[in-house]
Every structure is written in structure tokens, then in C-alpha cells.
Amino acid sequence: MLNRLISTLFLAYIGITCVFFYLGAVLIWLVTRLFDKRLVVLHLYSCFWASVYIWTMPAWRIATKGRHKVDWKKTYMVVSNHQSQLDILAAFTLFFPFKWVSKAEIFKVPFVGWNMVMNRYIRLKRGDKESIAEMMDVCEKTLKQGASVYFFPEGTRSFDGHLRPFKPGAFILAHDLKLPILPIAINGTRKALPKHSMNFHGKHHLDIEILDEIPYEAYAHLSVEETAEMVRQLIGSHVEEHVCATETTVAGGKARRAGNRGLTAGS
């Protein structure tokens, strides 16, 4: 009961403050849009807006690592694991320029979605082939204009933290445009806000880390699928729940094989 009350109050706090943050976003957009073609200032303001909700929730403590690895002069294909709705807030705390690829439904949310439209983030209807093709086209144009694009290549949030297979879209673009890939690992958000839950879940430490960029030359010889799997394994090696799940699976496989050998020997 207490957790639900805390959650309700926090959502109300977000709803009320969004109005004022959105008005600030509109003002920044009006003042900067003529000289800031990539809307970097508006995006950084959006980073601050999102970060406030993590900073002001006493139960959440976030550690951000690797900001120094980002070269603002480069255009990246940014990819990360996806555990929770909190991943978006966590990624905003990194404070570097990029455009989100996000579900089309979120763009309809008052204030937050309207700000996403102003930022020219990229919408996607999952499972809609026409929308996917349009999204890929917009991403390509955005990247050619020098703006990095952020994908969650799993496509949806993981239930248990174990990384799902990576969809190829981000890696097709990276290959076609010969871009460096910027991998990001997120930890702790799933337990703080599990999938299909909006309730408060106690105190949690959140971690988001920018890993070393992968230059085009490091994966040029790989296929799109091989590139996706290489990046998945790299990010997965920095995600605690994925590592634990993998070790459990490997240990279980070894136990089954040992058991089968025992049965064979016994027979």
C-alpha cells in the first residue's frame, strides 16, 4: 500500500512539473532553432528535464560512467540494452547529443511526447513494416546530417535482464554509413521499475556506462548479423543480470551433459 502511494505521488509530481518543463522547452526551441539546426541545446535541456526525476527520487542513486569517451564531433550509432522504462531517464543523464528511436505512442503523451516532436526524435510503430521502413529512412537522413541516433536493438524490455537477440536495423545503418558504434550498458533499472509495473520498488542503485566506441574498421569484415551479435555480447558482458543468467545456462548445460554421460556409462 505504501509503495503504491509513493508511486502515485511521484507520478503526480512528474505530471505537474512536466507542464513547466515543457514551457521551458518551447521557449528554448523558439530562441535556438534558427542557429541550432541539430537542436543540441533543446536536447540537453531535455536531458536536464529527465535527470531531475532521477535526482529527486530519494530511493534512486545513479552512477554514470564514460562520458569522456564521447567525441561530440563524431556521429555515432548508439545502442544499449533495455531493461525498464527508467532506461530512457538513465540515458538522458549522460548529457550528450543524440536522437531517440522510440515507440510512436509516446509521441502522443502530453508535454513529454510534444517535446519529443520538437526535438525531432524518431518514431516507430513496432511490427509495422511501413513504419519500420520510414524509421530507417529518417534515421539515415538524421545520421547524414551529423546527429547520432540511439537504438534499443532488443526492440522491447527484458523481463529478467538477460539480453534478447538484437534486431538488425541499427547495424544495417552502421554498415551502410560506415559509422562508429557506441555501446552503452545499463544496470539496476529493471529492479527499480520492472516491465509492466509503475509501482515503487524500494531503494535501488542505477548504473549506466558508456563503453569504448567500436570503429567501423573493427566490424567492417563482419555481416550485419555478426556485428549485432558481437555488440550484444560486449554489452551483455557489462550487464550483471545477463552475466548471471548466462553462467546459469552454461552451468545447467554442463550438468545435463554430465548427467547424460553418466546415464550412457551406466547403461
* CA–CA gap between residue 192 and residue 196 (Å, rounded): 12
The answer to whether residue 263 sits within a structural domain is: no
258 pLDDT more than 90: no
208 pLDDT more than 80: yes
User: Which residues does residue 181 pair with via DSSP β-bridges, in sequence order?
Assistant: 77, 214
Amino acid letter, 215:
P
Domain containing 127 equals 2-251
pTM of structure? 0.87
* CA–CA gap between residue 42 and residue 48 (Å, rounded): 10
Cα-based distances in Å from 231 to 16, 19, 86, 187, 234: 39, 38, 22, 17, 5
8 pLDDT more than 90: no
The answer to whether residue 79 sits within a structural domain is: yes
* CA–CA gap between residue 2 and residue 74 (Å, rounded): 46
The answer to whether residue 264 sits within a structural domain is: no
Q: For position 252, what pLDDT does the model report?
A: 57
* CA–CA gap between residue 228 and residue 219 (Å, rounded): 10
Q: What does the pLDDT look like over 12-66, one tens digit per residue?
A: 999 999 999 999 999 999 999 999 999 999 999 999 999 999 999 888 899 999 9
Q: Say which residues have a Cβ less than 8 Å from residue 153's Cβ, sequence separation at least 6.
A: 79, 166, 167, 169, 170, 171, 228, 231, 232
Q: What does the pLDDT look like over 112-161, one tens digit per residue?
A: 999 999 999 999 988 788 999 999 999 999 999 999 999 999 987 666 66
Q: For position 117, what pLDDT does the model report?
A: 96
Q: Looking at 2-16, 69-83, 85-99, which range is the least confident one? A: 2-16
The answer to whether residue 259 sits within a structural domain is: no
Q: Looking at 25-34, 68-77, 251-260, which range is the least confident one? A: 251-260
The answer to whether residue 260 sits within a structural domain is: no
The answer to whether residue 143 sits within a structural domain is: yes
User: Closest Cα partner for 219 from 169, 166, 170, 178?
Assistant: 178
User: Closest Cα partner for 40 from 115, 97, 118?
Assistant: 97
User: Closest Cα partner for 41 from 88, 78, 95, 86?
Assistant: 95
Domain of 138, CATH number, reads 3.40.1130
Q: For position 251, what pLDDT does the model report?
A: 53
The answer to whether residue 266 sits within a structural domain is: no
Helix, strand, or coil here: 19? helix
The answer to whether residue 241 sits within a structural domain is: yes
State the angle between helix axes of 240-266 and 224-236 in degrees (0 to 180), rounded to the nearest 10: 100
Q: How confident is the model at residue 250 (pLDDT cuts 50, 70, 90)?
A: low
Specify the number of domains making up the chain: 1
